[in-house]
Amino acid sequence: MHGPESAAWLLVALCAVTGASCLLRRRSGDGEQRRTAGGEALMGFGMALMAVPAAVVTPPRWTWLLYAAVFGGAALRALWAARRGAHHLHHLAGTFAMAYMSLAMAARPSGHAHHAAAGLPVLTGVLLVYFTGYVLRAGVRLVPAGAPVSSGTSVGAASGTGAGTAGPAWRDRPELARACRLSMAIGMLAMLLTM
């Protein structure tokens, strides 16, 4: 990824933290949730690696081809998983976008490391529209419904953090998974904008 160095480092941090939280979510849940969290961790860490500023390190062409192979395989896995549920289609879009960006970076001339990757404008535009829509939709879904807390309930009991509550662990909360997907979609938008 190419662009302002400080923005690139922020994207690296966002994607790395997202990948780490997905790894923590992988430690709990059923088999399907674990596989999904594992795939999201792969996406987060892969995006963090791709976002490292070119001024720091310019990876050789084979690195981009390796990324394309890894994310191409992940896209095939997401396509296979899509038969079990439509939410896997978002994973398919994300892994496809990562493979596409990797191939675009591998295809750029080696002497032009300071220029942005040259992808297909129409495909880049379609991916930008998809991820913009996803970010807007996911952001709205994360906004709390605003359920009022009754005056007789303490803050700890209302939030599920009191000593007498047995709410789910923080890594088991569904809004964490949505926040991770939202963070990765925002990162994907930033990366696609540089193409």
pLDDT, one tens digit per residue, over 151-193 is: 544 444 444 444 445 555 655 666 777 888 898 999 999 999 8
Reported pTM:
0.78
Distance CA 78, CA 40 (A): 11
Q: Which of 23-27, 98-102, 180-184, 185-189 has the lowest mean pLDDT?
A: 23-27
φ, ψ (nearest 5 deg) of residue 91: -65, -40
Predicted pLDDT of residue 117: 55
CB-CB contact of 174 with 138 (8 Å): no
Q: Which one, of 67, 111, 102, lies nearest residue 192 by Cα?
A: 102
Distance CA 161, CA 182 (A): 25
Question: pLDDT averaged over the chain?
Answer: 80
pLDDT in tens, 5-15: 888 899 999 99
- Largest Cα–Cα distance in the chain? 68
117-134 average pLDDT score: 89
182 or 31, higher pLDDT? 182
pLDDT of 113 higher than 90? no
